[in-house]
Amino acid sequence: MTSGFLTTDVLRSLAFKVLLFLSLALLPIGLISVFQTREIAEQNLENSELSLLAITEQASSQESSMIQEAFGAAEALASVVSLIKRDSRSCSAFLREYQKSSNLYTVVSYVMANGEINCISSGNITDISDLDVFKSMLRNKSRMAHILNDAPITKEPILVVTVPLYIESELRGFVNMSIPERVFQKVTEPDLTNPPQAMLTFNSEGEILTSENGREIAREELPSASELKWYISQSGRVFRATNNKGQPRVYAVMPIVSDAVYAMSVWSEDSPVLQTGRTTTLALFLPAVMWLASLIVAFWALNRLAIRHIRKLGRQMRHFALNRTLPRAPLGGVVPTEIVAMEQAFVGMAESILRDEALLEDSLRQKNILLKEVHHRVKNNLQLISSIMNMQIRQAATPDAKRVLQRLQDRILGLATVHKSLYQDDNLTRVDGGALVNEIVNQLLSVGLPSGTGVEVVQEYEAIQLDPDDAAPLTLLVSEALTNALKYVDVSGNAQGKVEIRLVYTKPEMALLVVKNTIGMVDPEVGTGLGMRLINAFSRQLNGQVEVTENDKDFSIRVEFPVPLRQKEIYDY
């Protein structure tokens, strides 16, 4: 019987149960292995991210140093400028001397809160209150860095580092350090084994300040989901996103100057730096592979050591059950001692069964021989009685006496026929009712129906298997019914007489006997009613019901009785 994917036999098999319990035994170890592997994977992923951050810091080290130096210089200059800012000449001279000594900045200036520049290293006093860059300074009022593509003084792209000057919590102005973009382009990049796809720096407003591969490439590699300024919150972290081309990328963000300048590196997902984390992720499947390998080895060992030998032993048992033959050779190969002991016990049991069956068959054969001899002798004795009665019939004085003796002789011959059938058949437990009735009918017809009468005889018999206890009453019942039919059928030859005898199945365990005759133009005799009483008595012995039907033309006797089938006959039917 099938149950879903697995059958009941599979669920109850030894291999399935062993594998199930082995899986339960390996489950705690597997869970521990998965947990530890996951921790290692997370640690390796964290180490991989730290490596990306370290490489980002290393790749942007030159730009970071210059920008940090500019902010540091601006902080230091703000302290000096706060003291000499009223003397514009002295202030400008000081900034000029610092600009020349550093050889990094093109312009160093101090912008007052109203936008006027009266302290500048170039000596050109001007007003920038209308410029967007100054409005951005007033809006932020904090450290910042921004790009001027066309500076009004230097006429070239510059990176402006701005530090606000506060005196007693009041904003007085800004110190600006201008670094030309060409300085960043001349920076010697560190030699990295696995360089990123792109390397850039940006300010708190998401403006690209510097790029190693050019601004166009940097813009293509930027995350497409949000503006660059929104990733300031990811500072010091690694995240995954798609670039503006729709390609998956890994991004690492590092702060250069807190709240002002940040560095970002862009990496391809198949970068060797990221392979460590991926390899560790694959290691999560190792516990499952180990569990599967353990089950395969366990099943192979169990099948080799036990299951195949048990199956072979089972085949030997089934072969013995069907053919009663012992195994020709013991189980081969390296067989466990427990299975060898089972085989020896089976062989011993089989030999004992064969000996007992041989004794039973011999005893049964002897009993069958004795029983056949009994039936043979009973048949001979009945025939002897019939012969004696035949002598008595010839000496009877009256026709009535002859008729009574003849009826008794018919009944005795019917019983003799039953015993004859029993001893001639090898199966002493069942009698073919059809053959038995056919023989009785032929005997009665040969005596009671002379030739030339013109009576049509119709016979139909099926091979109905009867118990010996039912054979005798059926024989006597047929004898009485047929004798009655021959008594009243027209045998003069002037009319169409007909006698019908049928014994057939009506159901698998029900049989029907029909004896039917036409009624001729004969004088009815006054009978004793013994025949009908015998018919009723024999029907009761058969556990059957008698149905008598009579009209102007026909007279019939129908007896339906049960015929219990044996177990084998039920299967054959």
DSSP 8-state symbol, 132: H
Q: What is the mean pLDDT of the chain?
A: 81
Strand 126-127, strand 116-120: pairing: antiparallel
CB within 8 Å of 491: residues ≥ 6 apart: 449, 450, 453, 454, 455, 497, 520
Backbone conformation region of residue 324, classed left if phi is above 0, alpha if psi is from -120 to 50, else beta: left
Confidence of residue 433 (pLDDT cuts 50, 70, 90): confident
Q: Quick check: 277 pLDDT over 60?
A: no
Confidence of residue 495 (pLDDT cuts 50, 70, 90): low
Q: Quick check: 104 pLDDT over 60?
A: yes
The SS3 assignment for 568 reads helix
**Spatial distance between the Cα atoms of 526 and 529, rounded to a whole number of angstroms:** 9
Q: Quick check: 563 pLDDT over 80?
A: yes
Domain ranges of the chain: 60-179, 189-269, 355-428, 430-573
Q: Quick check: 4 pLDDT over 50?
A: no
**Spatial distance between the Cα atoms of 514 and 512, rounded to a whole number of angstroms:** 6
Q: What is the pLDDT of residues 58-103, one digit of tens each?
A: 888 888 888 999 999 989 888 888 888 778 888 888 888 888 888 8
Q: Quick check: 3 pLDDT over 60?
A: no
Residue 400 pLDDT: 78
**Spatial distance between the Cα atoms of 232 and 254, rounded to a whole number of angstroms:** 9
**Spatial distance between the Cα atoms of 496 and 518, rounded to a whole number of angstroms:** 8
Q: What is the pLDDT of residues 508-557, one digit of tens each?
A: 889 999 999 888 765 555 556 777 888 888 889 889 889 999 888 888 99
Confidence of residue 567 (pLDDT cuts 50, 70, 90): very low
Structure tokens at 322: 């069907």
Q: Give the residues across from 500 on adjacent strands.
A: 458, 516
Strand (E) positions, 420-550?
A: 431-432, 456-461, 465-466, 498-507, 510-518, 545-550
Q: Quick check: 182 pLDDT over 80?
A: yes
pTM (predicted TM-score): 0.48
Instruction: Considering only residues 487 and 494, tell me which one the structure prediction assigns the higher pLDDT.
Output: 487
430-573, which class in CATH? alpha beta
CA distances from 34 to 37, 94, 253, 304, 363 (A): 5, 67, 31, 31, 71
Domain topology for 189-269: Beta-Lactamase (3.30.450)
**Spatial distance between the Cα atoms of 274 and 279, rounded to a whole number of angstroms:** 9
Axis-axis angle for helices 399-424, 468-488 (nearest 10): 150
Residue 570 pLDDT: 43
DSSP 8-state symbol, 87: S
Q: Quick check: 139 pLDDT over 80?
A: yes
Burial category of 231 from C-beta neighbours within 10 Å (exposed 0-12, middle 13-18, buried 19 and up): buried
Contact 281, 83 (CB under 8 A): no
The proportion of the chain whose per-residue pLDDT surpasses 70, expressed as a percent, equals 89
**Spatial distance between the Cα atoms of 455 and 430, rounded to a whole number of angstroms:** 34
For 181-190, what is the mean pLDDT? Answer: 77
CA distances from 385 to 240, 379, 381, 401 (A): 117, 10, 6, 17
60-179 and 189-269: identical CATH topology: yes
**Spatial distance between the Cα atoms of 264 and 64, rounded to a whole number of angstroms:** 12
Q: What is the pLDDT of residues 369-397, one digit of tens each?
A: 777 777 778 778 878 887 887 888 888 88
Q: What is the pLDDT of residues 105-114, one digit of tens each?
A: 888 989 888 8
Q: Quick check: 424 pLDDT over 70?
A: no
**Spatial distance between the Cα atoms of 513 and 505, rounded to a whole number of angstroms:** 9
Strand (E) positions, 168-213?
A: 170-180, 198-203, 208-211
Residue 521 pLDDT: 61
CB within 8 Å of 423: residues ≥ 6 apart: 371, 372, 373, 375, 376, 379
Q: Quick check: 489 pLDDT over 50?
A: yes
What is the CATH code of the structural domain delimited by 60-179?
3.30.450.20
Residue 276 pLDDT: 60
Q: Quick check: 1 pLDDT over 60?
A: no
Q: Quick check: 2 pLDDT over 50?
A: no
Confidence of residue 459 (pLDDT cuts 50, 70, 90): very high
C-beta pairs of 86-95 under 8 Å, 24+ apart in sequence = 88/118, 88/119, 88/125, 91/118, 91/119, 92/118, 92/119, 92/120, 92/121, 92/123, 95/119, 95/120, 95/121
Residue 571 pLDDT: 42
Q: Quick check: 118 pLDDT over 80?
A: yes
